[in-house]
Amino acid sequence: MSRHEHFLRTFLRVLGTSALTAGFFVCVPDAWMDAIHQRLGLGRLPDVPIVSYLARSTSSFYALLGGLLWVVSFDLRRHRSVLRYLGVAIVLFGVALLVVDWQAGLPLWWRLWEGPIDCAFGIIILRLSSRISEAGPRQTG
């Protein structure tokens, strides 16, 4: 396994594990989400069904992505096309988040963190997956 493959595998698993932790928020009490919202300086979390739904469904999608990142990390060569898709999709997602965050009026630290870091993650996945050779034995595990 090349050093690029090793780094990509590790990167995907760290990123995947981080995303999987969002699954915790699918079932936390609304009061916990409100407390976190307030600690971030965003005021009280609105107590309406759509807010709870969006927070929980978004958390479940992040967890789903985390699981997918783990799955593709086990056979990078086999999943090169999926990795390229994920790289592009994550960059575009980061750009979309940057626009949404600015339009929503989120704090500057949030705007400068969320979208740009997702773009960087997508670029890393794209760059490293482009260096994976199709030749040679597949490494799993």
* Packing angle, helices 30-39 and 49-73, rounded to 10: 90
Other beta carbons within 10 Å of 83: 23
Q: How many domains does the structure of the chain reveal?
A: 1
Provide the domain limits for residue 53.
Answer: 3-130
Residue 63 belongs to a domain: yes
Q: pLDDT digit string (tens) for 46-101?
A: 999 999 999 999 999 999 999 999 999 999 999 999 999 999 999 999 999 999 99
Is residue 119 domain-resident?
Answer: yes
Tell me the pTM: 0.87
Q: What is the average pLDDT across 117-136?
A: 88
In a domain, 95, yes or no: yes
Residues 6+ apart with CB under 8 A from 106: 42
> Per-residue pLDDT tens for 14-54?
999 999 999 999 999 999 999 999 999 999 999 999 999 99
In a domain? residue 140 = no
Domain-embedded: residue 10: yes
Residue 94 lies in a domain: yes
